[in-house]
Amino acid sequence: MTATTDGSGGPPRAGSAAAELRTTREPLAPAPHDLDEIAARAAERAAEHLLARQDAEGWWKGDLETNVTMDAEDLLLRQFLGVRDEATTEASARFVRGQQRDDGTWASFYGGPGELSTTVEAYVALRLAGDRPDDPHMQRAASWIRGQGGIAASRVFTRIWLALFGWWKWDDLPELPPELIFLPKWFPLNIYAFGCWARQTIVPLSVVSALRPVRPAPFALDELHTDPDDPSPPAPLAPATTWDGLFQRADRALRLYRRAAPRRLRRTAMNSAARWIVERQENDGCWGGIQPPAVYSVIALHLLGYDLGHPVMREGLASLDRFAVWREQDGRPVRMIEACQSPVWDTCLATVALADAGVPADHPALVKAADWMLGEQVVRPGDWSVRRPQLGSGGWAFEFHNDNYPDTDDTAEVVLALRRVDHPEPARLDAAVARGVRWNLGMQSRNGAWGAFDADNTSTLPNKLPFCDFGEVIDPPSADVTAHVVEMLAHEGMADHPRTRRGIQWLLSEQEPNGAWFGRWGVNYLYGTGSVVPALVAAGMPTAHPAIRRAVGWLRSVQNDDGGWGEDLRSYRERGAVGRGTSTASQTAWALLALLAAGEKDGTAARRGIAWLASAQRPDGTWDEPEFTGTGFPWDFSINYHLYRHVFPLTALGRYVHGEPVVGAAARRGR
């Protein structure tokens, strides 16, 4: 199905003015004695809004907004395959144009700085849509690109897209041999040393890199080079004693190997890669439930002879259409591409929010949500079993269809959500929870913590490859994921389990000197701290513990003057931005979840935060939040989860009004 708009009034505003880190909005000072009533009314409005948004099948899903590279690459794929049509192109181009900033650039997140590769890809997409190089908005973009070093300074993945059309030379890209598929699992750079998202991308790209296709370009891009006569000057060779120097020399060796590679071996490698790709296609035609690997998989298989009518290709292309969100803007259609869809994640968070807000545990909406989540449990092995071959399946994934890559984070939150529901088939629910708990326990890494998709995916070598110049390519444990697993285990009565205690010790060791925790999958220290403190308290840590008090002190110190909290994505790069930014609904809620868990309900900081949430609420019961508060890769790939602005504030309001959840449905049944 095509995703629908979340009713937030269209795409986020563009503009460079938001780049400044603001710390205040309208001041608010409700009378303290009225706050409980104000919070209760706000929670009631928010719950009504969320209940009205549930799909008939039982799930919730908000738009997942990233940046215009998704839209640009969708058009480039269609151009490459010869299936681009004018209606789709123009609707996509309207969205891309609408995200351009006054200086001609495109950013990778709301209010962020202009980003070179994003701007290059957006520019090319608009050229495909018929925008002329001498149009003022295109001139501004091209001038800025040249000022940043031109196409030559863009990331490898951008230049791969350009190489497909002859806008860049394949010889000027790092080698990625398909023989990589043959490396044994113990070898440091085998495909399972990469995070699952990188693995799914690298395998098909190794085929593309080997075949080096070039489809005739419909125009030149000389205006994006600093020197069109010499667009790719050679990079200086780093010292051999450095990792950069080592891999530069390894890349040179691979170039020599390319010329001498036995044809039969190369063909066998590409066929093995194709088999690996096809085996991982999901029932809905996609790969891993995320758009980038699906795009590259379609290209690789097409180059290997799969025509567009082949069932694998037909379903793959159909799956990409389901990433499109169509809206109306000024009476004309606008098309935005999601990088991924988040129904399992959104549904478990919505279920927790409604239950914590006082919706009865046997409410039909919660029962329907639980039924849907139970049907989404993954019951077959996936890539995670490479490192855990004896572990039985039982996790949950993020997306509608993704049996190959369930994750520990979704699994933990789904279990917490299911335990909020009084389900008419308790034995069925208990069995599913037991499988999920066992799977999560088995996915613990050696250091006692949890990564998202794989256990012990911690080698740093993949990050050093010349090919991997964008985002995270490994999946090491993180504090936010570990906290969610620990919280789930505690609610299952396993706070004293040895694996839980190891997770707690790891979390304590990861606390920053300022009292916060780093956020890997949400921005940033507010997300990490908002995840860890409730987990530690749920696991029995007293609120007087020094780690809890340090966290509370940090949250108080970074509260904005308006009573809310916010943190800009710059905090991943700039220490001065840590905990600082415009107040947002989701980040204010994360801070409140930590403060409420720490026993600070009656504290000034918590009361001011609740007052800000109530004051910022829209008449329809939700909140505005153009800021990006989620991450795919910290800094490099940011996400605006359009349901975050709703589920987390509702959870915080609910816990303020009704108190902290002590245990789930398991305890109510005397387990």
Going by C-beta distance under 8 Å and a sequence separation of 6 or more, which residues neighbour residue 113?
A: 19, 105, 107
- Same-domain status, 186 and 299: yes
Mean pLDDT of 568-593: 96
pLDDT tens per residue across span 346-368: 999 999 999 999 999 999 999 99
How would residue 33 be classed by pLDDT, with cut points 50, 70 and 90?
low
**Position 281: which residue type?**
Q
Residue ending a domain, among 291, 314, 337, is 337
3-state secondary structure (DSSP) of residue 461 = helix
Mean pLDDT of 498-506: 98
Q: Is residue 501 part of a domain?
A: yes
Examine the fold and report which residue of 337, 359, 381 is the final residue of a domain before the chain moves on: 337
Instruction: Please report whether residue 2 resides in a domain.
Output: no
pLDDT band at 246 (very low <50, low <70, confident <90, very high): confident
Roughly what angle, to the nearest 10 degrees, separates helices 585-597 and 546-557? 150
Residue 436 shares a structural domain with residue 310: no
Among 277, 311, 337, the domain-final residue is 337
- On whether residue 356 sits in a domain, the answer given is yes
Q: Is residue 230 part of a domain?
A: no
Judge whether 17 lies within some domain.
no
What would the two tokens of residue 626 be? 């153009």
**Is the pLDDT assigned to residue 244 strictly greater than 90?**
no
pLDDT for the residue numbered 662: 64
Domain membership of residue 422 (yes or no) is yes
* 465 within some domain: no
Q: pLDDT tier at 241 (50, 70, 90 boundaries)?
A: confident
- The answer to whether position 631 is within a domain reads yes
Residue 149 has pLDDT above 70, yes or no: yes
According to the model, what pLDDT value does residue 247 have? 80
In this structure, the answer to whether residues 89 and 128 fall within a common structural domain is yes
- Residue partners of 170: CB distance under 8 A and separation at least 6: 163, 209, 212, 214
Measuring CA to CA, how many Å separate 374 from each of 371, 422, 436, 661, 666? Answer: 5, 13, 11, 22, 16
* Whether pLDDT at 27 is above 50: no
| pLDDT tens digits, 547-580 | 999 999 999 999 999 999 999 999 999 999 999 9
- Per-residue model confidence as pLDDT tens digits over 395-406: 999 999 899 999
Nearest-angstrom CA–CA distance, 410 and 406: 8
Report the pLDDT value the prediction gives residue 287, as an integer from 0 to 100: 92
Residue 240, pLDDT score = 80
* pLDDT value of position 25: 41
If asked whether residues 379 and 433 sit together in one domain, one would say yes
Which tens digit of pLDDT belongs to each residue from 379-390? Answer: 999 999 999 999
Residue 2 has pLDDT above 50, yes or no: no
Domain residues for the domain of 124 are 65-225+238-337
Predicted pLDDT at 640: 96
What is the separation, in whole angstroms, between the first and last Cα of the chain?
A: 40
DSSP 525-566: HHHHHHHHHHHHHHTT--TTSHHHHHHHHHHHHT--TTS---
Choice among 6, 403, 409, 410 that is catalytic:
409
pLDDT, average across residues 316-324: 93
**For the chain, how big is the Rg over CA atoms in Å?**
25
Query: How far apart (Å, rounded) are the C-alpha atoms in residues 19 and 268?
Result: 50
pLDDT category, 181, cuts 50, 70, 90? Answer: very high
Q: What is the 3-state secondary structure (H, E, C) of 237-303?
A: CCCCCCHHHHHHHHHHHHHHHHHHCCHHHHHHHHHHHHHHHHHCECCCCCECCEHHHHHHHHHHHHH
**pLDDT tens digit string along 87-128?**
999 999 999 999 999 999 999 999 999 999 999 999 999 999
Q: In what order do the strands lie in the sheet with 630-633?
A: 64-65, 637-641, 630-633
How many angstroms from the chain centroid is the CA of residue 247?
29
What pLDDT is stored for residue 11 in this prediction? 34
Q: What is the mean pLDDT of residues 483-493?
A: 98
Same-domain check for residues 46 and 110 = no
Tell me the percentage of the chain whose pLDDT exceeds 90: 83
Task: Provide DSSP, 15-56.
Answer: -GGGGS-----S-----GGGHHHHHHHHHHHHHHHHHHT--T
pLDDT for the residue numbered 230: 80
User: In 10 A of CB 447, how many CB atoms?
Assistant: 16
CA gap 486, 444 in Å, rounded: 11
Q: Is the pLDDT of residue 4 over 60?
A: no
User: What's the whole-number average pLDDT of the chain?
Assistant: 91
CB atoms within 10 A of CB 32: 11
**pLDDT above 90 for 438:** yes
Q: Are residues 119 and 161 in the same domain?
A: yes
Cα three-residue angle 71-173-105, rounded to 5 degrees: 35
pLDDT band with cut points at 50, 70 and 90 for residue 465:
confident
Predicted confidence at residue 10, as pLDDT, reads 35
Q: Is 74 a catalytic residue?
A: no
In contact, 68 and 122? CB cutoff 8 Å: yes
Q: Are 591 and 518 within one domain?
A: yes
Residues 168 and 189 in one domain: yes
Phi and psi, residue 522, nearest 5°: -150, 160
Same domain, 72 and 134: yes
Predicted confidence at residue 303, as pLDDT, reads 96
Q: Residue 30: pLDDT band by 50, 70, 90 thresholds? A: low
The phi and psi torsions of 19 (rounded to 5 degrees) equal -70, -25
Residues 158 and 264 in one domain: yes
What does the pLDDT read at residue 273?
97
| Nearest-5° Cα angle at 34, 32 to 38 | 120
* Domain harbouring 162, CATH code: 1.50.10.20
For residue 475, what is the DSSP state? B
Is 151 within 8 Å of 225 (Cβ atoms)?
yes
288 and 437 share one domain: no
313 with 406, same domain: the answer is: no
Cβ neighbour number for residue 264 with a 10 Å cutoff: 8
pLDDT of residue 8: 39
What is the mean predicted confidence (pLDDT) over 659-669? Answer: 56
Quote the number of domains for the chain.
2
Of 320, 440, 433, 346, give the one whose Cα is nearest residue 384: 440
**Cβ atoms 600, 25 nearer than 8 A:** no
